[in-house]
């Protein structure tokens, strides 16, 4: 995560540094060249206007005498420092003076720079000298080649001067400035990257620490929550001496059933907690009724039937358990055919958790010894379930129970009381973490 962030931020910062660097150095180069051009062109043009007049261009330059007179007239111009070469064209584009006399009178077609200058535009370009051209100044790599329109008081272009002008150290200055700009941009972005990395590391360290604190708090809360459930279950078991350990075994059987039914982890955990707390409402039932050795009278039975509602109400008041979990507790005595209590729910109206807990509750009740009867064998219990499948219990849950009966007997009933108690804690803890 950290490495990915640092790699990506480095990539994007370098990308933006490159784009910015290219833009700034290109703009700077253009600005420096434009500035140089705007200095040189007026200089040359003023010199020409100072030494020549329109009349000089009217003379036929094909004659050697005329050529020499013109050469003399522009001597001061051609001796200007940095001016490497100069040619003059008339308004028809013919060469009327060149340092190569044989070119005088020639006219070259396909010269776009000259064509544009004849229309009044100053055309200037910086170019690298070819080997043939580099005859005047060895060691020069760049020159300014310009076509300068000349007017001599006329509104139309009268003639054009073509000049090759020495650029001097301009390109070296541009190169040095570009290096400086690249250095500043890269150093700035590197500093930005280091600052960003430091902020990121500080923030991620803080988040990690807060996550660890949160994890510790969460574990403490889970511990407190499990402690509360254990205390509640112990309180229920202590009230009813005939059903000691019953809540724990119902929870274990319920978990095995949820695993066989492939119930999701969250619902499984809720069913486990609901199974542990399913008879918590018995706290509100008179001990005389709870511990009565014989059968209950109809009035006593009506009181006893209130325990799912009492349990749900008590846990709802606590406000820490989910509505689904509380509904499982309220409905654990509902029957699949609708003849159960307290709400007479039928089939899918009964929460799946309540249908599972009802089966687990009945299984353990039949497998446990009571003062008025002995514990039934696993075979007898399964036979009873087959009889009431689809009426009292959900046939899907009963079928699952038949499939895992041996597993239930091995895990829940083969262990001693001490081992069972240990298993309760570890099973609960594991489910909490999941
Ligand atoms: Fe119950």
User: CATH number, domain at 312?
Assistant: 1.10.3210.10
Do 400 and 339 share a structural domain? yes
pLDDT tier at 422, thresholds 50, 70, 90: very low
What SS3 class is residue 86? Answer: strand
Q: How far apart are CA 139 and CA 93, in angstroms?
A: 32
The predicted pLDDT at position 60 comes to 62
Please name the residues in contact with 387: beta carbons below 8 A apart, sequence gap of 6 or more.
none
Q: How far is the CA of 306 from the centre of ligand 1 (A)?
A: 9
Do 245 and 171 share a structural domain? no
CATH code of the domain containing 28: 3.30.450.20
Q: How far apart are CA 57 and CA 62, in angstroms?
A: 12
Give how far the C-alpha of residue 254 lies from the chain's centroid of Cα atoms, to the nearest Å: 41
The predicted pLDDT at position 270 comes to 93
Q: Where are the alpha helices (DSSP H) in 245-305?
A: 246-260, 265-276, 287-290, 298-304
Into how many domains does the chain fold? 2
Please name the residues in contact with 158: beta carbons below 8 A apart, sequence gap of 6 or more.
54, 57, 91, 150, 151, 152
Q: How far is the CA of 261 from the centre of ligand 1 (A)?
A: 23
Which one has a higher pLDDT value, 248 or 254?
A: 254
Least confident of 5-19, 198-212, 415-429: 415-429
Residue 188 included in any domain? no
Domain boundary among 145, 176, 207: 176
Q: How far is the CA of 313 from the centre of ligand 1 (A)?
A: 14
The predicted pLDDT at position 107 comes to 85
Query: CA 128, 158, 45 angle in degrees (round to 5)?
Result: 50
Q: How far is the CA of 294 from the centre of ligand 1 (A)?
A: 18
The predicted pLDDT at position 112 comes to 87
Is the pLDDT score of 13 beyond 50? yes
Residue 5 included in any domain? no
Please name the residues in contact with 23: beta carbons below 8 A apart, sequence gap of 6 or more.
none
Please name the residues in contact with 64: beta carbons below 8 A apart, sequence gap of 6 or more.
101
Q: How far apart are CA 71 and CA 87, in angstroms?
A: 11
The predicted pLDDT at position 221 comes to 87
Q: How far is the CA of 253 from the centre of ligand 1 (A)?
A: 15
Q: How far is the CA of 260 from the centre of ligand 1 (A)?
A: 23
Closest among 239, 267, 244, 243 to 255, alpha carbons compared: 267
Q: How far is the CA of 390 from the centre of ligand 1 (A)?
A: 20
Do 167 and 28 share a structural domain? yes
Q: How far apart are CA 72 and CA 365, in angstroms?
A: 132
Residue 9 included in any domain? no
The predicted pLDDT at position 389 comes to 94
pLDDT tier at 424, thresholds 50, 70, 90: very low
Which one has a higher pLDDT value, 392 or 57?
A: 392
Q: DSSP of 229-246, one letter per residue?
A: HHHHHHHHHHH-GGGTTH
Instruction: Encode pLDDT of 53-98 as tens digits.
Output: 887 777 666 677 788 888 888 888 888 888 888 999 988 888 888 8
Do 171 and 264 share a structural domain? no
Is the pLDDT score of 399 beyond 90? yes
The predicted pLDDT at position 241 comes to 65
Is the pLDDT score of 426 beyond 60? no
Which one has a higher pLDDT value, 241 or 276?
A: 276
Structural domain range at position 99: 22-176
The predicted pLDDT at position 156 comes to 86
Q: How far is the CA of 333 from the centre of ligand 1 (A)?
A: 6
Percent of the chain predicted with pLDDT > 90: 49
Do 376 and 231 share a structural domain? yes
Q: How far is the CA of 418 from the centre of ligand 1 (A)?
A: 24
Do 318 and 224 share a structural domain? yes
Is the pLDDT score of 109 beyond 50? yes
Q: How far is the CA of 308 from the centre of ligand 1 (A)?
A: 6
Q: How far is the CA of 101 from the centre of ligand 1 (A)?
A: 124
Q: What is the mean pLDDT of residues 282-291?
A: 86
Give how far the C-alpha of residue 415 lies from the chain's centroid of Cα atoms, to the nearest Å: 51
Closest among 177, 138, 140 to 35, alpha carbons compared: 177
**8 A C-beta contact, residue 236 and residue 311:** no
Closest among 366, 331, 364, 380 to 252, alpha carbons compared: 364
Residue 205 included in any domain? no
Do 151 and 47 share a structural domain? yes
Residue 193 included in any domain? no
Q: Indicate the pTM of the whole model.
A: 0.54
* Protein residues within 5 Å, CB atom, of ion ligand 1: 279
Q: How far apart are CA 111 and CA 119, in angstroms?
A: 13
The predicted pLDDT at position 366 comes to 93
The predicted pLDDT at position 360 comes to 96
Location of structure tokens 């889970």: 222
Average pLDDT, the chain: 85
The predicted pLDDT at position 207 comes to 93
Do 240 and 143 share a structural domain? no
Q: How far is the CA of 28 from the centre of ligand 1 (A)?
A: 88
Q: How far is the CA of 307 from the centre of ligand 1 (A)?
A: 7
Q: How far apart are CA 33 and CA 170, in angstroms?
A: 8
Do 320 and 259 share a structural domain? yes
Q: How far is the CA of 368 from the centre of ligand 1 (A)?
A: 15
Least confident of 95-109, 138-152, 292-306: 138-152
**8 A C-beta contact, residue 52 and residue 74:** yes
Q: How far is the CA of 329 from the centre of ligand 1 (A)?
A: 8
Q: How far is the CA of 281 from the centre of ligand 1 (A)?
A: 8
Q: How far is the CA of 380 from the centre of ligand 1 (A)?
A: 22
Do 306 and 162 share a structural domain? no
Q: How far is the CA of 430 from the centre of ligand 1 (A)?
A: 26
Residue 398 included in any domain? yes
Which one has a higher pLDDT value, 347 or 432?
A: 347
Do 412 and 273 share a structural domain? yes
Do 352 and 429 share a structural domain? yes
Domain boundary among 176, 205, 230: 176
Domain boundary among 121, 153, 176: 176
Residue 341 included in any domain? yes
The predicted pLDDT at position 417 comes to 44
Residue 148 included in any domain? yes
The predicted pLDDT at position 420 comes to 42
Is the pLDDT score of 433 beyond 50? no
| Helix/strand number for the chain, H first, E second | 16, 5
pLDDT tier at 418, thresholds 50, 70, 90: very low
The predicted pLDDT at position 134 comes to 47
Which one has a higher pLDDT value, 432 or 44?
A: 44
């Amino acid at each position: 995560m950290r490495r990915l962030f640092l790699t990506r931020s480095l990539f994007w910062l370098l990308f933006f540094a490159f784009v910015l660097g290219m833009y700034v150095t290109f703009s700077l180069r253009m600005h420096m060249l434009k500035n140089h051009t705007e200095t040189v062109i007026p200089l040359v043009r003023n010199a020409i206007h100072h030494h020549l007049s329109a009349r000089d261009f009217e003379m036929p330059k094909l004659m050697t005498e005329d050529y020499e007179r013109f050469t003399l007239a522009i001597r001061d111009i051609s001796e200007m420092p940095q001016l490497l070469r100069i040619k003059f064209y008339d308004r028809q584009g013919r060469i009327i003076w060149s340092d190569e006399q044989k070119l005088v009178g020639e006219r070259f077609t396909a010269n776009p720079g000259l064509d544009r200058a004849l229309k009044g535009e100053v055309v200037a370009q910086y170019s690298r000298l070819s080997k043939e051209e580099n005859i005047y100044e060895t060691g020069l790599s760049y020159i300014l080649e310009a076509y300068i329109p000349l007017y001599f008081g006329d509104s139309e272009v009268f003639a054009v001067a073509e000049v090759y002008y020495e650029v001097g150290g301009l390109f070296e200055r541009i190169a040095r400035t570009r290096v400086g700009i690249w250095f500043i941009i890269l150093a700035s972005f590197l500093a930005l990257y280091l600052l960003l990395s430091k902020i990121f590391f500080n923030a991620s360290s803080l988040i990690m620490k807060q996550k660890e604190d949160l994890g510790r708090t969460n574990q403490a809360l889970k511990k407190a929550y499990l402690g509360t459930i254990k205390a509640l279950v112990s309180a229920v078991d202590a009230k009813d001496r005939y059903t000691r350990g019953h809540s724990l075994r119902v929870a274990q059987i319920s978990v095995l059933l949820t695993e066989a039914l492939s119930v999701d982890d969250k619902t499984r955990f809720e069913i486990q907690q609901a199974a542990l707390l399913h008879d918590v409402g018995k706290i509100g039932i008179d001990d005389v009724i709870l511990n009565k050795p014989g059968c209950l009278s109809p009035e006593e039975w009506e009181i006893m039937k209130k325990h799912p509602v009492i349990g749900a109400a008590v846990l709802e008041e606590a406000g820490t358990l989910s509505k689904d979990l509380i509904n499982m507790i309220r409905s654990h005595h509902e029957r699949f055919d609708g003849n159960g209590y307290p709400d007479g729910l039928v089939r899918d109206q009964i929460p799946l958790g309540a249908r599972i807990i009802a089966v687990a509750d009945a299984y353990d009740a039949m497998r446990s010894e009571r003062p008025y009867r002995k514990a039934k064998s696993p075979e007898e219990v399964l036979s009873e379930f087959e009889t009431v499948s689809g009426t009292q219990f959900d046939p899907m849950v009963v079928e699952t129970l038949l499939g895992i009966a041996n597993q239930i007997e091995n895990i829940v009933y083969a262990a001693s009381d001490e081992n069972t108690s240990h298993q309760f804690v570890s099973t609960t803890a594991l489910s909490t973490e999941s």
